[in-house]
């Protein structure tokens, strides 16, 4: 038997020996890679070993070793790159799918800016490149840092790798601003992708699924020589920090970028009407296959930079730009089974188990079916041939069954009446009008293990605690080993480690070893956990998994309460019937009744309060959000807007006040600091006068806001 013996012909005994050899070899390569930063194999060669190990395990599942390389923590070299905090966040884009969505974008922008319907609004249009975004920082014309997007606030330092790209200049011409941050997309062309995969196959290495994965894999190499050997390209399309802006339009900025030596997309155009956007979209869609690189839609931007500044951002996307996606790619396959997943809120979600099929360059074998009604509406049966689709980064969907090809023995799916994980009754909530919710929920609450486990996964997810090396899979393992049952357990893991039988996968050489021989990756994990004891308050609040608390709401709550203790106290007081407190909270913009009820329900549950308290006791120190701007006359103040504003819309006024650090609320109380009264202000003005609140005219507000 040799490493070349096909997996299909291995006897059980041979397979066992081979798995042992692979585990030993790969552990040695890992040590060389992670601890010594001196890889003994190329990425491709390593992948080939990994793949062979997996193939053997798939054929002989009972032979899978306790120290199997496929269960290793931190298989990707993440953590090996330094972190870079972006001085200006790298944002994502909102999506448009239909011409109506695009029209609405134009209308929304005009409304926000208070433009007349026939006023000119110049827009730009360019392809949305399907690659990875990168930010390049130049100081005094010299490239000093290149970073990935990461979570938008903190990325990874990949300067050395980015410097190998021929499209990325190391120096900018004389006379550029002192600080220039160019942002754009790193991608691999179709031709280069095909050639790379041919080389991978010739080297018996695993081919990449699509150009985007190939670009990502190539960019995140610890060995810069590997990146240099992978042909990557770069289009510039936006910027981060700039000591000054060298132009006053998007078009002007692109012209500068080009003059400075960057490539900008040749299909970038300016238009003056949304119809122009739609025509360009159709034009580029028709050329999509012949462009030579993957794009997944078009990006439209407001051309004037003063408008962009006024429009600002909502959550993580700019109001002044939108991505208009191309239609999803489709394929047909067989629906083998429908499984039920229990989510962190107890929602029972049916998941389609599909015969694996490639859609848009990615192999799809699972797709969400949303809920029971959806299955009935689409008339899906187990065994059906179905059409599946994937739109960009969106989760795959089952579109419909192919009725002409329905097998006779296809089976109707009966939605369970009990939670498959804990056996509690599964019910659909009914609203005041007697209408049943589409979602069926497990009523097990805190006793349902699946809910508890999913809550943990949410707690460590990227937008929440985001602990390096502690992903979904590791949570499953720790859960099964009874080591982590609630969020606070994560932070006491290291101290309990020696007393408990830890999961086998944590060890380098089997469970008998002591802490001294822990895998490097586990030491790293403990370090990462320790580091996350200092976490942004909003991330922690989001991580608690309170219903109706998304990332934006979590930020609002963090800003409002300033600490977990205060939030818990106020919500519990409100739950005990403190009406004045409730009225105050209801007045805060974005805090509706549903949210407040949900907070009360969450903190009304003793176990949840204990869990929060235990996190604090375990040493978790949430850091309050910095006030957006502290040196403004309205920072920390509460403002109410009323009446008709003519110089800016209500939305713009509110956004502006919030960026200046103010809290915008809807009704007047003794706690209101300012009332901005536009034309025809009514009862709020009278009430404010009565309470002695400072009243500003629109002109006074504008003067204040443009400071
Ligand atoms: S503009 C503040 N333009 O799409 C807005 N983004 O889905 C900055 N992308 O994170 C983005 N092509 O990585 C812009 N021509 C283009 C783009 C583009 C691809 C990526 C970018 C962004 C993501 C959002």
Encode pLDDT of 235-283 as tens digits: 999 999 999 999 999 999 999 999 999 999 999 999 999 999 999 999 9
| 294 CA to centre of ligand 1 in angstroms | 14
Query: What's the topology of domain 7-72+328-412?
Result: OB fold (Dihydrolipoamide Acetyltransferase, E2P) (2.40.50)
CA–CA gap between residue 365 and residue 352 (Å, rounded): 8
Does residue 400 carry a catalytic annotation? Answer: no
CA–CA gap between residue 588 and residue 600 (Å, rounded): 16
The reply to whether ligand 1 has any atom less than 6 angstroms from the CB of 321 is yes
| Superfamily classification of domain 535-623 | 5' to 3' exonuclease, C-terminal subdomain (1.10.150.20)
Q: Residue 198: which residues within 8 A CB-CB, separation 6 or more?
A: none
Which among 188, 226, 277, 194 is positioned nearest to 41, based on CA atoms?
A: 226
CB-count burial class (<10 Å; 0-12, 13-18, 19+) for 621: exposed
The reply to whether ligand 1 has any atom less than 6 angstroms from the CB of 491 is no
Of 256-260, 582-586, 651-655, which has the strongest mean pLDDT?
256-260
Q: How far is CA 306 from the centre of its chain?
A: 29
Position in ligand 1 atom list of the atom nearest CA 91: 2
> Which residue of 97, 126, 132, 133 sits with most ligand 1 atoms within 8 Å of its CB, as the best mutation to test the pocket?
133
What residue spans define the domains of the chain?
Answer: 7-72+328-412, 83-325, 446-490+492-532, 535-623, 638-705
What angle is formed at CA 404 by the lines to CA 398 and CA 407, rounded to 5 degrees? 80
The reply to whether ligand 1 has any atom less than 6 angstroms from the CB of 95 is no
Position in ligand 1 atom list of the atom nearest CA 321: 5
Using the 8-state DSSP alphabet, how is residue 636 labeled?
T
The reply to whether ligand 1 has any atom less than 6 angstroms from the CB of 326 is no
| Superfamily classification of domain 446-490+492-532 | 5' to 3' exonuclease, C-terminal subdomain (1.10.150.20)
Residues of the chain with pLDDT > 90: what percent? 58
Higher pLDDT, 128 or 226: 128
Position in ligand 1 atom list of the atom nearest CA 265: 15
How sure is the predictor about 504, in pLDDT bands with cuts at 50, 70 and 90? low
CA–CA gap between residue 303 and residue 120 (Å, rounded): 11
> What does CATH list as the number for 83-325?
3.30.470.30
> Which residue of 291, 297, 323 sits with most ligand 1 atoms within 8 Å of its CB, as the best mutation to test the pocket?
323
> Which residue of 94, 134, 185 sits with most ligand 1 atoms within 8 Å of its CB, as the best mutation to test the pocket?
185
pLDDT at 511: 45
Position in ligand 1 atom list of the atom nearest CA 130: 19
Q: Whose CA is closest to atom 18 on ligand 1?
A: 128
pLDDT (average), residues 556-562? 90
Of 5-9, 159-163, 394-398, which has the strongest mean pLDDT?
159-163
Q: Which of 24, 128, 435, 524 is catalytic?
A: 128
- DSSP per residue, 192-245: HHHHHHHHHHHTTPPPPSSHHHHHHHHHT-SSHHHHHTS--EEEEEEEEEESS-
CA–CA gap between residue 345 and residue 452 (Å, rounded): 9
Using the 8-state DSSP alphabet, how is residue 32 labeled?
I
The reply to whether ligand 1 has any atom less than 6 angstroms from the CB of 367 is no
Do 7-72+328-412 and 446-490+492-532 come out as alike in CATH topology?
A: no
The mean-pLDDT minimum among 42-46, 165-169, 170-174 falls in 42-46
State both tokens at 200: 């991978």
The mean-pLDDT minimum among 284-293, 355-364, 368-377, 400-409 falls in 355-364
The reply to whether ligand 1 has any atom less than 6 angstroms from the CB of 297 is no
In this structure, CATH architecture of domain 638-705: 3-Layer(aba) Sandwich (3.40)
pLDDT (average), residues 127-149? 96
How sure is the predictor about 76, in pLDDT bands with cuts at 50, 70 and 90? very low
- The H-or-E segment that residue 299 falls in is strand 295-302
State both tokens at 56: 């053997």
pLDDT at 71: 64
C-beta separation of 629 from 659 below 8 A: yes
Q: Among the residues of 499-589, which ranges form H helices?
A: 520-531, 537-543, 551-561, 564-575, 579-586
The reply to whether ligand 1 has any atom less than 6 angstroms from the CB of 106 is no
pLDDT in tens, 170-188: 999 999 999 999 999 999 9
pTM of the predicted structure, to 2 decimals: 0.61
C-beta separation of 142 from 237 below 8 A: no
pLDDT at 513: 46
The reply to whether ligand 1 has any atom less than 6 angstroms from the CB of 299 is yes
Judged against a pLDDT cut of 70, whether residue 30 lies above it is answered with no
Determine how many CB atoms are found less than 10 A away from the CB of residue 92: 15
Determine how many CB atoms are found less than 10 A away from the CB of residue 39: 19
The reply to whether ligand 1 has any atom less than 6 angstroms from the CB of 237 is yes
Q: Whose CA is closest to atom 22 on ligand 1?
A: 92
Position in ligand 1 atom list of the atom nearest CA 95: 7
pLDDT at 37: 46
CA distances from 302 to 77, 89, 196, 310, 320 (A): 38, 19, 38, 11, 5
Is the backbone of residue 26 left (phi > 0), alpha (psi -120 to 50) or beta? alpha
pLDDT (average), residues 518-522? 71
| 111 CA to centre of ligand 1 in angstroms | 24
pLDDT (average), residues 575-598? 87
Q: Whose CA is closest to atom 15 on ligand 1?
A: 128
C-beta separation of 183 from 238 below 8 A: yes
The reply to whether ligand 1 has any atom less than 6 angstroms from the CB of 92 is yes
How sure is the predictor about 596, in pLDDT bands with cuts at 50, 70 and 90? very high
pLDDT at 629: 62
Residue whose entry in the numeric block shows the structure tokens 């090396």: 469
CA–CA gap between residue 108 and residue 650 (Å, rounded): 13
> Which residue of 89, 92, 93, 311 sits with most ligand 1 atoms within 8 Å of its CB, as the best mutation to test the pocket?
93
**Reading across the β-sheet that carries 132-139, which strands appear in turn?**
142-148, 132-139, 179-187, 233-242
The strand pairing partners of 216, in sequence order, are none
pLDDT (average), residues 216-220? 90
The reply to whether ligand 1 has any atom less than 6 angstroms from the CB of 91 is yes
pLDDT at 417: 95
95-96 vs 321-325, strand pairing mode: parallel
| 92 CA to centre of ligand 1 in angstroms | 6
């Amino acid at each position: 038997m040799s490493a070349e013996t096909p997996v299909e012909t291995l006897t059980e005994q041979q397979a066992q020996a081979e798995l042992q050899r692979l585990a030993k070899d790969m552990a040695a390569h890992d040590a060389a890679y992670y601890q010594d930063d001196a890889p003994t194999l190329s990425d491709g060669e390593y992948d080939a070993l990994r793949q062979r190990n997996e193939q053997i395990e798939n054929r002989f599942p009972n032979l899978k070793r306790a120290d199997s390389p496929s269960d290793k923590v931190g298989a990707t070299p993440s953590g090996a790159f330094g972190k870079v905090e972006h001085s200006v966040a790298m944002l994502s884009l909102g999506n448009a799918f239909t011409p109506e969505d695009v029209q609405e974008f134009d209308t929304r922008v005009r409304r926000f800016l208070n433009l007349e319907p026939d006023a000119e609004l110049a827009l730009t249009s360019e392809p949305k490149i399907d690659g990875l975004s990168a930010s390049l920082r130049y100081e005094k014309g010299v490239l000093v840092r290149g970073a990935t997007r990461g979570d938008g606030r903190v990325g990874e330092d990949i300067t050395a790798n980015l410097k190998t790209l021929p499209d990325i200049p190391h120096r900018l011409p004389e006379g550029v601003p002192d600080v220039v941050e160019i942002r754009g997309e790193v991608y691999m062309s179709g031709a280069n992708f095909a050639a790379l995969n041919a080389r991978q196959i010739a080297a018996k290495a695993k081919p990449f699924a699509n150009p985007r994965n190939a670009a990502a894999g190539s960019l995140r190499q610890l060995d810069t020589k590997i990146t240099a050997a992978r042909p990557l390209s770069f289009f510039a399309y936006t910027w981060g920090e700039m000591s000054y802006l060298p132009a006053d339009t998007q078009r002007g900025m692109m012209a500068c970028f080009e003059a400075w030596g960057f490539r900008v997309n040749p299909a970038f155009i300016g238009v003056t009407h949304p119809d122009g956007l739609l025509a360009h979209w159709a034009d580029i869609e028709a050329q999509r296959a012949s462009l030579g690189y993957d794009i997944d839609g078009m990006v439209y931007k407001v051309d004037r930079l003063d408008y962009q500044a006024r429009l600002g951002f909502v959550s993580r996307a700019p109001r002044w730009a939108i991505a208009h996606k191309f239609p999803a790619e489709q394929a047909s396959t067989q629906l083998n089974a429908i499984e039920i997943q229990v989510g962190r809120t107890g929602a029972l979600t049916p998941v389609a188990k599909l015969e694996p099929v490639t859609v848009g360059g990615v192999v799809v074998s699972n797709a969400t079916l949303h809920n029971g009604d959806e299955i009935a509406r689409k008339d899906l049966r187990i065994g059906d041939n179905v059409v599946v689709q994937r739109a960009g980064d969106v989760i795959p969907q089952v579109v419909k069954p192919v009725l002409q090809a329905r097998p006779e023995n296809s089976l109707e799916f009966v939605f369970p009446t009990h939670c498959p994980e804990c056996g509690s009754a599964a019910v659909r909530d009914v609203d005041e009008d007697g209408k049943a919710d589409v979602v069926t929920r497990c009523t097990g609450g805190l006793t349902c293990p699946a809910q508890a486990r999913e809550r943990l996964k949410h707690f460590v997810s990227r937008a929440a605690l985001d602990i390096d090396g502690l992903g979904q899979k590791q949570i499953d393992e720790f859960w099964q080993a009874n080591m982590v049952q609630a969020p606070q357990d994560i932070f006491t893991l290291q101290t309990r480690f020696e007393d408990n039988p830890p999961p086998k996968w944590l060890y380098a050489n089997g469970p008998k070893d002591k802490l001294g021989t822990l895998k490097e990756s586990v030491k790293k994990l403990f370090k990462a956990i320790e580091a996350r004891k200092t976490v942004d308050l909003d991330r922690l609040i989001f991580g608690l998994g309170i219903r109706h608390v998304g990332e934006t709401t979590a930020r609002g709550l963090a800003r409002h309460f300033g600490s977990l203790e205060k939030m818990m106290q106020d919500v519990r007081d409100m739950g005990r019937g403190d009406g004045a407190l409730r009225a105050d909270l209801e007045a805060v913009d974005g805090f509706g009744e549903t949210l407040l009820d949900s907070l009360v329900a969450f903190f009304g549950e003793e176990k949840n309060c204990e869990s929060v308290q235990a996190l604090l006791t375990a040493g978790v120190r949430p850091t309050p959000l910095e006030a957006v701007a502290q040196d403004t006359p309205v920072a920390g103040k509460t403002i109410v807007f009323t009446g008709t504003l003519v110089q800016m819309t209500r939305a713009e006024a509110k956004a502006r006040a919030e960026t200046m650090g103010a809290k915008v609320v809807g009704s007047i109380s003794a706690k209101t600091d300012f009332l901005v009264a536009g034309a025809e202000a009514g009862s709020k003005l009278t009430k404010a006068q009565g309470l002695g609140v400072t009243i500003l005219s629109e002109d006074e507000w504008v003067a204040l806001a443009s400071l």
